[in-house]
Amino acid sequence: MHIESTEMLWFEQHVLSLPELSELSGVPQPLLEELLDCGAIAPLEPDAGTGPRVRAGADLRFGAQALRAARTARRLRADFEFDVQALAVALSLLDRVAELEAQLRELRAQQPQRVR
């Protein structure tokens, strides 16, 4: 877990190409392209990953969020044999859960602490 956290800190400051994302995440490039097409993984420039440009080999760049999502997709596919649509839904739901947990932490931090 510590190694992955350290890697993510490094990747927050660097960008990856599609082949690099594939290599580092363990997800085959054709599957990454399908996840890009359905919006489950997004490039750093939102307009770059849509339409036929993905298939034409556009110079897409990805950050730590895409690497995190790709690694999660690899684990979900290995553990549950999800297809691309199921991966897209699962990644979307996991992102939403993370957003809600962050909101909950923020709200709890704003509450006055009760003395017991």
Q: Specify the CATH number for the domain of residue 72.
A: 1.10.1660.10
pLDDT, position 53: 45
Q: What pLDDT, in 10s, does the model give residues 34-43?
A: 999 999 999 9
49 is a domain residue: yes
Q: What pLDDT, in 10s, does the model give residues 13-34?
A: 789 999 999 999 999 999 999 9
Q: What pLDDT, in 10s, does the model give residues 60-100?
A: 999 989 999 999 999 999 999 999 999 999 999 999 999 99
Residue 113 has pLDDT above 90, yes or no: no
pLDDT, position 14: 81
- Contact present, 44 and 12 (Cβ < 8 Å): no
pLDDT, position 112: 83
Q: Please give the tally of structural domains in the chain.
A: 1
Contacts for 32 with CB less than 8 Å, ≥ 6 apart: 18, 21, 22, 25, 41, 70
Residue 56 has pLDDT above 50, yes or no: no
Q: How confident is the model at residue 12 (pLDDT cuts 50, 70, 90)?
A: low
pLDDT, position 30: 96
31 is a domain residue: yes
Domain of 96, in residue numbers? 2-110
115 is a domain residue: no
92 is a domain residue: yes
Contacts for 84 with CB less than 8 Å, ≥ 6 apart: 31, 34, 35, 38, 40
